[in-house]
Amino acid sequence: MPRTAEIDVIVGGGGVAGMAAAVAIQQLGYQVMLVEPGLNDDRRLAGEVFHPPGVAGLAELGLLPAVMLAPAVTVDGFSVSSGGELIRLPYDTVPTHRLPGLCLEHSLIRQRMRDAVSALPNIIINRARVVGVDQSDSSSLIVDIASERHATSRYRCRVLVAADGTSSRLARMAGIGVHNRRISTIWAYRVCSDNLPEQEYGHVFLGASTPILLYPLGRTEARILFDLPYQPGARPTAADCLAMAAVLPAALRRDVAQAIAAQPRLSVMTQAITTERSVQGRVVLVGDAGGCCHPLTASGMSMCVNDALLLREALAERCSDLSAALQLYQRRRRWPQATRLALADALREALCGTSPEMRVVRGGILAYWRDSAAGRAATLALLSTADGRPLVLVREIIAVMVRGFLAHLRRPLPANHGIGELHVARALLANFFHQVKQVLIGPTMDAPRTRQPHALPQAGRHGLGLLTATDREGRGGSR
């Protein structure tokens, strides 16, 4: 039986969510051990976009100066290309977006965050894996950790933060139910950024079977993602990507074809993952361990940082009662997470669907973005995680469906579809109730609230001011 050592908090998982959580908790004076077995980042495709709330969160944690060094680039929003039309969705239409978005290769994000975390006091990085969790004592928990040499160490801690990503092992070890649904496989390539329609924006190209996502990785390179739907018994091929690339502008299409021919692709299986809860005893889930969605909204990285700050705030507010603090975190996380997951499903269904009602919804979305400045701002606030209120999402779904249906009445689908207005109206209504159910049905929780930065000790507040100034000064030179 190994000797039991003492530590305040163990964070299982050394990705963006784990490192952000470790820093956030350390800022409250806890001693933190970050446990990570090590990953080959060069062979992984993972998040590379921070929306403005995520960038602001990195600044609040003191991690932004390291992450934003070149080749990182800022982005001013996303543009949507459909049938030759370009619709801009600029971040600065949202009043709470104080900073631009940020893009950087995932391996560099992790490396830079790891270097910054390693230099902080009260954080120990342990190259190992959590192999056992014992919560039989309600006042603490016992965590068994196996090192690379298979030696097992035992620690008594106050909280275990599960930050081990999708299909979290730690969530299951804690007895939290995890449900997943496979959606697609994404293939990704690097391309020259010279022929991007707009250099300072990310891009979504419509017209293929699924949207194509493209964003800069630096001043000269960009990442393009092909979303290949899951079909049992069938495997995606490079030819599928080339077929989808037909909707791209000619010069960009040539660059993409060359990349597909010359490069080994990166790939990842996308899943919609939900968890029955975010807290079980003294185990708390952050980031993708607490649920994830299709990356079309590019919200995963920002949510990782948001979770870390939300956990820090709850621990600070209930510092004398850790169990109450974790329950507070769970309540406050519930609705923003539900909104994010429902939005990703609804948006992908609308942009990929081929049914008459989905074509009507897709037309309504594009018209809403094209014609309404308020609509663009509301959409960007939801997509960026700046607004996590489910009722706002429901309101936006209604606005899009009404706009799309009115446009359909003025210009119905071609007669050979054999689809009448009544059929479309019924289908839209059924889809609306389905979307509402996705986000709203569940146990009654506290009303959602916008997370505000918690007041830190004087040194922490001073540091945040310096970081914000650094970010403002660095924006122009980081593109």
- The tens digit of pLDDT for each residue in 398-430 reads 999 999 999 888 877 654 455 577 778 888 888
Question: Are both 225 and 312 inside the same structural domain?
Answer: no
- Given a contact cutoff of 8 angstroms between Cβ atoms, the answer to whether 478 and 68 are in contact is yes
* Residues 167 and 185 grouped into a single domain: no
For residue 88, tell me if it sits in a domain. Answer: no
Q: Is this model's pTM higher than 0.85 or not?
A: yes
Considering the domain boundaries, does residue 61 fall inside one?
A: yes
Instruction: List pLDDT tens digits, range 9-40.
Output: 999 999 999 999 999 999 999 999 999 987 66
435 φ, ψ (degrees, to nearest 5): -65, -40
The full DSSP string for 138-187 is TT-EEEEEEETT--EEEEEESEEEE---SS-HHHHHTT--EEEEEEEEEE
Rounded Cα gap, residues 322 and 279, in angstroms: 12
Structure-token pair, residue 15: 């990705």
Mean pLDDT of the chain: 88
Q: How many CB atoms lie within 10 A of CB 371?
A: 11
- 247 with 284, same domain: the answer is no
Q: Domain for residue 233, yes or no?
A: yes
Same domain, 189 and 172: no
pLDDT digits over 340-356, tens only? 999 999 999 999 998 88
Based on the fold, state whether residues 315 and 344 are members of the same structural domain: no
Q: How far apart are CA 285 and CA 305, in angstroms?
A: 13
Say if residues 101 and 202 touch (Cβ distance below 8 Å): yes
Judge whether residue 442 has pLDDT over 60. no
For the residues 118-141, what does the mean pLDDT come to? 95
Does residue 231 belong to any structural domain of this protein? yes
- pLDDT tops 70 at residue 42: no
Residues 298 and 255 placed together within one structural domain of the fold: no
In a domain, 435, yes or no: yes
Res. 310: pLDDT tops 50: yes
Domain that holds residue 231: 180-270
Tell which of 270, 294, 320 closes a domain: 270
Q: Are residues 321 and 189 in the same domain?
A: no
**Among residues 195, 197, 193, 201, which one has the least CA distance to residue 219?**
193
Residues 173 and 204 in one domain: no
Cβ contact 202:213 at 8 Å: yes
pLDDT at 41: 58
Q: Can you give the pLDDT at residue 40?
A: 62
Among 270, 303, 318, give the residue marking a domain's end.
Answer: 270
Q: Where are the alpha helices (DSSP H) in 78-132?
A: 106-118
Count of domains forming the chain: 3
Q: Which of 39-53, 87-101, 144-158, 228-242 is the most confident on average?
A: 87-101
Rg (CA), the chain: 23
Has residue 175 been placed in a domain?
Answer: yes
HSE on the CB side for 293, CA within 13 Å? Answer: 25
Residue after which a domain boundary falls, among 254, 270, 286: 270
How high is the pLDDT of residue 416?
A: 41
Same domain, 172 and 184: no
